[in-house]
A and B are shown apart, each in its own frame.
Chain A
Amino acid sequence: MDMSRHLAKALGLVVGVGLMAACASGSNTNSGQKFSGVTVRVVTFTGPQIAEPLQRRAPDFEKATGAKVQIITVPFSDLYQKVLTDFATKTNSYDATVFDPQWMGDYVPPGYLEDLTDRVKNDSTLQWDDIAPFFRDFSATFKGKVYTIPLDGDFQMVYYRKDLLQKDGLKAPETWQDYIDIAKHYQGKDLNGDGKADYGSCLAMKRSAQSYWAWISIASAFLQSQGTKQGAFFDLNNMQPLTNNPGAAAALNVYKQLSKIGPPTQLNDDVGNSRGLFITGRCALSLDWGDIGTLAIDKTQSKVEDKVGAVILPGSKQVLDRSTGQLADCNATLCPYAVNGVNHAPFAAFGGWSGAINKASSAKVKDAAFAFLAYMSAPAQSGVDVTIGRTGFNPYRTSQFSNLDNWTKAGMSTQAANDYLGAIKSSLQSPNMVLDLRISQSAYYQQTSLDTALAQFLAGELNASQTMNQITSQWNKKTDDLGRQSQLDQYKASLSVTR
Chain B
Amino acid sequence: MSNQASARVLRKATSRWRPIGARLDQSAGAVFILPAVLVILGFSIFPLLASLYVSLSRLSFSEGGVNLKFVGLDNYAKLIVGVDQTHFLGVVGPITPVTVAVLAAAYGLLALLLYRYINGPNRTAGGLVGRVVSAMIAGGLLWLIANTILTSGRPGTLVVTIVYVGVDVAVQYLLGLGLALLVVQHLPGRRFFRVVFLLPMMITPVGVAYLFQMLTDTSKGPLYPLWVRFGLTDVSWVTNPWGARLAVMIGDVWQWTPFIFIILLAAIETLPHELVEAAVVDGASRWNVFWRITFPQILPATTTVVLIRLIEGFKIVDLPNVLTNGGPGTATESLTLHAYTIWRALDIGGSAAVAYMLLLLVTFVGVTYVNLFRRRVAALT
Contacts and interface: CB of A to CB of B under 8 A. Distances in A.
Interface of A: 1, 3, 77-78, 80-81, 84-85, 88-90, 106, 109-112, 197, 206-209, 263-268, 440-441, 443-444, 447-448, 452, 455-462, 470, 473-474, 477, 481-482
Nearest to A441: B345
B345 A264 contact: no
B188 interface: no
Contacts of A443: 344-346
A267 B328 contact: yes
A232 B62 CA distance: 28
Contacts of A89: 66
Contacts of B87: 452
B345 A268 contact: no
Contact of B328 (A80, A106, A455, A481): A455
B1 A458 contact: no
A208 B66 contact: no
Contacts, number: 128
B353 to A, nearest CB: 14
Contacts of B329: 207, 452, 455-462
Interface string B327-350: 111110000000001111111000
5 contacts: A81-B346, A110-B61, A111-B64, A448-B347, A460-B328
Contacts of B44: none
Contacts of A456: 329-330
A78 B83 CA distance: 24
Contacts of B236: 264-265, 267-268
B300 interface: no
A201 to B, nearest CB: 15
A192 B177 CA distance: 51
Given A111-B63, A455-B330, A481-B58, A264 B325 contact: no
A484 to B, nearest CB: 15
A3 B32 CA distance: 14
Interface in B41-61: 58, 60-61
A461 B153 CA distance: 9
A448 B345 contact: yes
Contacts of A460: 328-329
Interface residues of B, number: 44
Give 9 nearest A-B pairs by CB, closest first: A459-B329, A459-B328, A456-B329, A461-B329, A207-B327, A444-B345, A1-B2, A264-B236, A267-B239
Interface in B223-260: 233-236, 238-239, 241
Nearest to A448: B345
B326 interface: yes
B344 A206 contact: no
Contacts of A85: 346
B326 A208 contact: yes
Interface in B259-290: none
Given A111-B64, A264-B239, A477-B78, A461 B345 contact: no
A89 B325 CA distance: 28
Contacts of B326: 207-208, 455
A263 B217 CA distance: 11
A264 B219 contact: yes
Contacts of A462: 329
Contacts of B238: 265, 268
Contacts of B309: none
A448 B238 CA distance: 21
A84 B61 contact: yes
Interface of B: 1-2, 5-6, 58, 60-66, 78, 82-84, 86-87, 154, 217-219, 233-236, 238-239, 241, 324-331, 341-347
B297 to A, nearest CB: 35
Contacts of B328: 207, 267-268, 455, 458-461
A76 B65 CA distance: 24
Contacts of A80: 344-346
A1 B1 contact: yes
B341 A208 contact: yes
A441 B219 contact: no
Given A81-B344, A441-B345, A477-B82, A264 B218 contact: yes
A88 B346 CA distance: 12
Contacts of A197: 234
A311 B78 CA distance: 43
Nearest to A277: B219
Contact of A448 (B2, B62, B324, B341): B341
B325 A208 contact: yes
Nearest to B66: A88
Contact of B219 (A106, A263, A455): A263
A441 B84 CA distance: 17
B344 A448 contact: yes
B83 A474 contact: yes
A458 B239 CA distance: 10
Given A265-B219, A477-B78, 17 more contacts: A80-B344, A80-B346, A88-B61, A88-B65, A110-B62, A207-B327, A264-B234, A264-B236, A267-B327, A268-B324, A448-B341, A448-B344, A452-B341, A455-B327, A461-B330, A462-B329, A477-B83
B239 A452 contact: no
B228 to A, nearest CB: 10
B312 to A, nearest CB: 24
Contacts of A470: 83, 86
A179 to B, nearest CB: 22
A441 B82 CA distance: 19
A265 B330 contact: no
A206 B323 CA distance: 11
A440 B58 CA distance: 14
A47 B195 CA distance: 37
Nearest to A89: B66
A267 B236 CA distance: 9
Contact of B325 (A78, A207, A474): A207
Contacts of A106: 61, 346
Contacts of B343: 81
Given A81-B344, A206-B327, A459 B64 contact: no
B344 A447 contact: yes
A111 B162 CA distance: 44
Nearest to B324: A268
Contacts of B324: 207, 268
A85 B66 CA distance: 9
Contacts of A77: 344
